[in-house]
Amino acid sequence: MTMNPCDQSAVELSKLLRRKEISAVEILESALERIDQVDGRPGTLNPGAITDADKQKVHSFITLTAERARAQAKEVDRKLKAGEDPGALAGIPLTVKDIFVLKGTPSTAASKILANFISPYTATPVSRLEAAGAVTLGKVNLDEFTYGSSNESSAFQPSPRNPWDTHTVPGGSSGGSAASVAAGEAVLSLGTDTAGSIRQPAAFCGVVGVKPTYGRVSRYGLIAFASSLDCPGPVARSVEDAALMLKVMAGADPSDDTAANIPVPDYLAELEKGVKGLRIGLSPDYFRITYPDPTSGELLMQAISPEIEASVRRAASLLKEMGAEIIEDVPMPNTRYGIPAYFVISRVEAASNLHRYDGVKYGFRTPEPTHELRDLYKKTRAQGFGPQPKLRILMGMYVSAAQYSEQYYNRALKVRTLIRRDFDTVFDKNGAYRLDALLTPTTPTTAFEMGAVYGDSVLMQYADQLTVPANHAGIPGLSLPAGLDSKRLPIGIQLLGADFSESVLFRIGRAFEQATETDAWRKEKPGVLAS
Amino acid sequence: MKDPITPEVFAHLVDLAALELEPTQAEYLRLQLNHQLKAIQELESIPLESNVEISAHGVPYTAEISPAPREDIWKPYPEPADIIKQAPATDEGYIVVPEIPHITLK
């Protein structure tokens, strides 16, 4: 398959567009053609049997808005012809995780309970991206309400598959985002990260994913999961594109009081400054995972995949050659408590957020007769929610009950303090470590097979063990591809930094890309693109 | 260890959560909840000194980075009919719901 416009970077496409060597409509048609080639049928509530043909496709989309996108692309071309500034992302094909609302389009959260909801307004990150000229192709699939790490829990089936090997999961919950970018259906995607939901699928699909600092990007118009943890962020194929996208959508927002009032740096201007003098840490606590035995519940400790550890260590070695100082044996002792604390905090917040879905104001209402209001609530929620939202509601109610809240909820909030202290200690400019970043694996394994973990809600959650500490601490994280394993599946490495240090993470990521640009794996294409 | 979430506790949670569950799904969810609780029990083994405060957010919201509250100005939505039509049942601009039972609080 030759290099189509949809396979090029946003930065390169912007140059071509401004030199009038390509039009926004041509870029769009290239993306739509790719979608037609690789995506298969979109996710629906009543899919029937999943066929062998379905199993060869990516299924990123729930809603494709091709005509809306054509109108946007034509407007970009009109502005260019008229000599007007079309914006920093003019003509760049974008997919949006269907957890953001977009006026006039279905905004489903991949749940039956919102399947018929047409949003009356647009989320701030989406409106900023579109105001900068991005062309929205449509809404992409996710785990229902973002609750999962594989996309298999979506009520809209077939769920997305990994473009590198469609028998494996794309990760989640931003699986449609990562899969669409990896397959060249889009150049950029907007995702969200609550425990690793951008970084984990980015790692599984071999693309770049950024969880910005909590408060860096407005959450207005993001259908809430865990309000103290949710972060919108970019998915892209290069660090440079991710930096460009974050610059456009970050910043204070009068509609979201948690959007921090801090100027947004010019990430691209900082990008090429290299890593000389930067202190980058490696922690043994990120080279092993703790997880409960599925049968006995006993906690087991296990080293991460040797191939993934080797990729991290190689990255450290390359960055050292480029002038970074590598600090070994950085203690992050509370990393292992990230998932247990997350089980409590996220469930309490999810249960609270999900109480608004009742079949009264919008969304699904049970078609069965109901004799009183509470009966309507119960039947609607029973039929509208899938098992994962139900689990989160029930657990959230249990651990926040008056008699248990000290034992569980308050204790989890204190453990969050301990996790935050780990990061404060190692990023302290006057401390013993004085790190600019931690370099870790993004995930303990590469993409797992469809069906291998789904159904075991505990094991599935532990896929986020190396990403969730950043959500508890609020700090930024960047996952970027670092090679392929022996099964030809992408390996992701992660950079974590202090609050609002995204520019430093982008610099390190960019340096790593330059150090590996001639690696053989960079020429490999996802399986769905093999001709 | 006995499952902390017994069928009786589970039934109470289901009622509080305003859900109704088929028996098969109820048993699957109860099993998963007890599995999750086993993972959560690890929190109890963590030594917490008395000076450990709770964190509502990871990022400290200092005065410098917290936006000032926006002005309290009423801005009418331009097309309220678009919002009303999202409701599953309406009548002349009102949302229709079944009987709201009268409950006497103890």
- SS3 of A229-285: the string is CCEEEEEECCHHHHHHHHHHHECCECCECCCCCCCCCCHHHHHHHCCCCCEEECCHH
| Residues of B in Cβ contact (< 8 Å) with A456 | 32, 35
Instruction: For residue range A457-488, list pLDDT tens digits in order.
Output: 777 888 899 999 999 999 999 999 999 999 99
Round to the nearest angstrom and report the end-to-end CA distance of chain A: 6
Cβ of A340 and B5 within 8 Å?
A: no
Residue B25 lies in a domain: yes
Give the separation between CA A399 and CA A207, rounded to whole angstroms. 36
Q: Which of A173, A189, A283, A479 is catalytic?
A: A173
Which three-class secondary structure state does DSSP give residue B95?
strand
CB contacts of A259 in chain B (<8 Å) are 67
Number of structural domains, chain B?
1
Range of the domain at B21: 1-45
ipTM score of the complex? 0.94
Could you confirm whether A173 is annotated as catalytic? yes
Q: Number of CB pairs < 8 Å for A and B?
A: 199
Residue A273: active-site member: no
Q: Give A522's Cβ-side CA count (13 Å radius).
A: 12
To the query of whether residue A346 is one of the catalytic residues in this protein, the response is no
Asked whether residue B67 is domain-assigned, the answer is: no
Distance (Å) from the C-alpha of residue A186 to the closest C-alpha of chain B? 30
Chain B residues with beta carbon closer than 8 angstroms to that of A457: 32, 35-36
- Over its C-alpha atoms, chain B yields an Rg (Å, rounded) of 23
Catalytic-labelled residue, pool A150, A159, A197, A218: A197
In a domain, B12, yes or no: yes
CB A80 within 8 A of CB A34: no
Q: What are phi and psi of A219, to 5 degrees?
A: -100, 10
* pLDDT band of A2, cuts 50, 70, 90: low
Interface subset of B 73-102, CB within 8 angstroms of A: 77, 79, 82-83, 86-89, 95, 97-101
The whole-number pLDDT of residue B1 equals 62
The distance between the two most distant Cα atoms of chain B, rounded to a whole number of Å, is 60
pLDDT at residue A531, rounded to an integer: 61
Q: What pTM was computed for the model? A: 0.97
Q: Do B19 and A416 touch (CB under 8 A)?
A: no
For residue B8, being part of any structural domain is answered with: yes
Q: Is B8 on the interface with A (CB under 8 A)?
A: no
User: Could you say which of A97, A139, A211, A247 is catalytic?
Assistant: A97
- Whole-angstrom Cα distance, residue A228 to residue A211? 14
Residue showing tokens 């294409």: A525
Tally: H helices and E strands in chain B: 3, 2
- Of A201, A196, A209, A203, nearest to A246 by C-alpha is A209
Q: Which of A101, A228, A390 to mutate to test the interface with B (most CBs of B within 10 A)?
A: A390
- The residue in chain B having the minimum alpha-carbon distance to the alpha carbon of residue A420 is B58
Q: Which residues of chain A are within 8 Å of residue B82 when distances are taken between CB atoms? A: 118, 120
User: Of all helices (H) and strands (E), which one includes residue A95?
Assistant: strand A93-97
Q: Which two tokens stand for residue A528?
A: 């769905």
pLDDT of B79 above 80: yes
Gap between the Cα atoms of A376 and A390, Å rounded: 16
Across the range A41-51, mean pLDDT stands at: 98
Asked if residue B37 is part of any domain, the answer here is yes
CATH class for the region spanning A5-267: alpha beta
Tell whether B35 is covered by a domain: yes
Give burial (CB, 10 Å; 0-12/13-18/19+) of A46.
exposed
Cα distance between residue A161 and residue A102, in whole Å: 24
Mean pLDDT of A308-325: 98
Within a domain: B97: no
pLDDT band at A1 (very low <50, low <70, confident <90, very high): very low
Mean pLDDT computed over B80-103: 92
Asked if residue B38 belongs to a domain, the reply is yes
Q: Does B105 touch chain A (CB under 8 A)?
A: no
